[in-house]
Amino acid sequence: MLFLLFACLWVLIASGLLWACDRFVPYHVRKGNFNGVRNMMAIAASFYSFLVGFVVVQEWNTVGTVKGQVSQQAANIATAEYAAATLPPPHAEHILDSIAVFTKSQLCDEIPALSDSTVGLPQTNVALGELYQSAATVRPASVKGLPAYPQVFSEIGDISDLRFQIINGASQRVPLVLLVAIFGVGLFLVGTVTLQDVHHRRSHVGTVIAVALFVAAGNTVIVSLNRPFVGAATVSSQPLVGVAAYAFEVPESEVCRPTSGPQG
């Protein structure tokens, strides 16, 4: 659908440029500047391909980084759950419940919201604060000599850091100036093609349309990769789903249902 929108846009632009070229650029001018325009077209095509390739590589790396962060956070949550489960009651249950509530808030509320927002949700901030509080209120005497307790704190710290890294990754956008440059180079490329002195009118129109579709394809790829949590290369939250399903003791398909809750 996105490609169709860009394709329609660039075909309309190409049609307008073809009309303007026929109306305002005499044949002898196009013929006399054929070689120069052809060289400019080659330069524009190369530069456009370079810009699109550069942006795609950068955005793909961002998507890959966020995927790794989600997987690592799921591993930290699982480790924190395992360590907390070895603590004496009622601390174990309290911390495990807090981990489950935070995980559900991030998985079911915050991550879906990152498709439109670039900041964390207040309720997830609260859940993270309560998770820290659940570990901080443990009586020192009850966990003295237990290596699992400092490990719980360490894992919670890593979970918090990764959460903010995920939010930061979701906020990464292609700079507006670069988007404008890509659009401008694409427009210049289509414009130079329309100025080519081709005797076979149908062949010329077909070439212009093909170049317009090439530019549209580049625009589509860039927009599709512009945000990690929306588009063609969406980051999967499946690692967190598995951890949350274990914490709530429910099937993965029911993790985000409002009625689900941590099991005692």
Residue 253 pLDDT > 80: yes
Percent with pLDDT over 90 in the chain: 50
Residue 156 lies in a domain: yes
Residue 247 pLDDT > 90: no
- The residues near 103 (Cβ < 8 Å, ≥ 6 apart) are 77, 240, 243, 244, 247
Residue 65 pLDDT > 80: yes
Q: At 110, which amino acid appears?
A: E
Residue 36 lies in a domain: no
pLDDT of residue 244: 87
**From CA 184, how far away is CA 176, in angstroms rounded?**
12
Q: Which domain holds residue 154?
A: 61-173+235-251
Residue 259 pLDDT > 60: no
Residue 264 lies in a domain: no
Mean pLDDT, residues 95-117 taken together: 90
Mean pLDDT, residues 183-197 taken together: 91
- The mean pLDDT of the chain is 87
How many structural domains comprise the chain? 1
Residue 124 lies in a domain: yes
- The residues near 224 (Cβ < 8 Å, ≥ 6 apart) are 2, 231, 232, 233
Residue 143 lies in a domain: yes
- For 97-143, give the secondary structure using H, E and C: HHHHHHHHHHHHHHHHHCCCCCCCCHHHHHHHHHHHHHHHCCCHHHH
Mean pLDDT, residues 132-140 taken together: 87
Residue 210 pLDDT > 90: yes
Residue 127 lies in a domain: yes
The pair of structure tokens assigned to 194 is: 């329309």
